[in-house]
Amino acid sequence: MSPAGTVVLDLTQDVAFLTAALMDIESVSANERAIADAVEVALRALPHLEVTRNGDSIVARTSLGRDERVILAGHLDTVPLPTTPGSRGTVPSSWDGEVLYGRGATDMKGGVAVQLALAATLTEPTKDVTFIFYDHEEVAAVKSGLGRLVRENRELLDADFGILLEPTNGTVEGGCNGTIRFEATTRGKAAHSARAWMGENAIHAAAPILARLASYEPATINVDGLDYRESLNAVKVHGGTAGNVIPDLCVVEINYRFAPDKTPDQAEAHVRELLEGFEMVRTDFSAGARPGLNAPAAASFVAAVGREPLPKYGWTDVARLSEMGIPAVNFGPGDALLAHSDNEHVHADAIRECLAALRRWLA
């Protein structure tokens, strides 16, 4: 049964063209219904899969009684379309030779196309596979479709290993750094700047915070064989109210990206030690994820890909799988540095090679 108006996807066409077809269904976060409908209809046509829909997320599972089960996961949504006139990273997609331009080209319609191509063509994989397509990845974590599945359909998500098809340029990227944010606040006493000695300058009081951050040497930490480069930065600062008033408040917003050898609490302790003596509030955090390469399934997967694994720096949903006790890595077509850009694009061969590597491993 195909709802009226649902886009019909041919999952057996060239995976790069399938990517373009997915990109042409605009699916900015909160507007995933159309693409979720198209994906659901296409998957329900495949008799070897059990399909479950929850909101605009879809889970499709093989049940072949294999020894191992792996998750292949990707999000259906994109960030908003570019606002710069003439940007090519928009909807609909466009081809320039073998390069595919448009919103979602790297993040991550190519990965989703690879998932769908595998779902359609790999009827007898060597491991049971759970395909997950989910909504609301590019917005606040509380809205995540994957988070909702974890809460409401946990029984569908058991697995020995997970692959998230986020763009990694076709290399296995293991785990991810954690991220934690603080606001460090200095307080003073307002006064007219003509009589500055009657006040206390909160911006001057923030000088040591910036100095300690500027001279901090971030570590590179080896976790399960991969080197995680950390960073610690002031990302925003604001203080002062008027040109003739001694400022009574200055707030420095700080972001620490920490290696997955630490919990968020340990990361917090580290920053608090560095900025001892300053008023500091933790405003946000996400745990990192260990690379998961010591899982048995991971070793054979890395071998099938045939490239040296790298650490992942950006936070991804592998952390969410990791929290569930499922070792997980990132592996997908396209350059993560192009994600969200006005110039988002991917080479057709990158998508085809990603599909080929996964097929080698699972066939």
Q: With contacts defined by CB under 8 A, how many residues of the chain interact with a second copy?
A: 48
CA distance 347 to 265: 41
- Residue 343 binds a second copy, judged by CB under 8 A: no
- Residue 101 binds a second copy, judged by CB under 8 A: no
CB of 205 to a second copy, least distance (A): 7
- Measured from the CB atom, the residue of 143 and 212 that comes closer to a second copy is 212
- Residue identified by tokens 């999952």 is 11
- Residue 196 binds a second copy, judged by CB under 8 A: yes
In the annotation, is 77 catalytic?
Answer: yes
CA distance 292 to 161: 8
CA distance 1 to 198: 76
Q: Which of 46, 39, 129, 45 lies closest to 77, judged by CA?
A: 39
Pick from 189, 192, 307, 360 the residue near a second copy by CB under 8 A: 192
Hey, is 23 helix, strand or coil? Answer: helix
Pick from 5, 86, 243, 325 the residue near a second copy by CB under 8 A: 243
- Measured from the CB atom, the residue of 242 and 363 that comes closer to a second copy is 242
Greatest CA separation for the chain: 81
- Residue 281 binds a second copy, judged by CB under 8 A: no
Q: Among residue numbers 105 through 164, which ones bind a second copy (CB under 8 A)?
A: none
H or E segment and range at residue 164: strand 161-164
CA distance 34 to 31: 7
- Residue identified by tokens 């296409």 is 42
In the annotation, is 217 catalytic?
Answer: no
Report CA dihedral (335, 235, 228, 157) to the nearest 10 degrees: -70
Pick from 201, 286, 322, 330 the residue near a second copy by CB under 8 A: 201
Pick from 91, 245, 304, 338 the residue near a second copy by CB under 8 A: 245
Q: Among residue numbers 249 through 268, which ones bind a second copy (CB under 8 A)?
A: 250, 252-253, 255, 257
Q: What is the CA 196 to chain-centroid distance, rounded? A: 48
Tell me the catalytic residues.
77, 137
Which residues sit at the interface with a second copy, rule CB under 8 A? 177, 179, 181, 192-197, 201, 203-208, 210-211, 213-214, 218, 229, 231, 233-247, 250, 252-253, 255, 257, 284, 313-315, 337
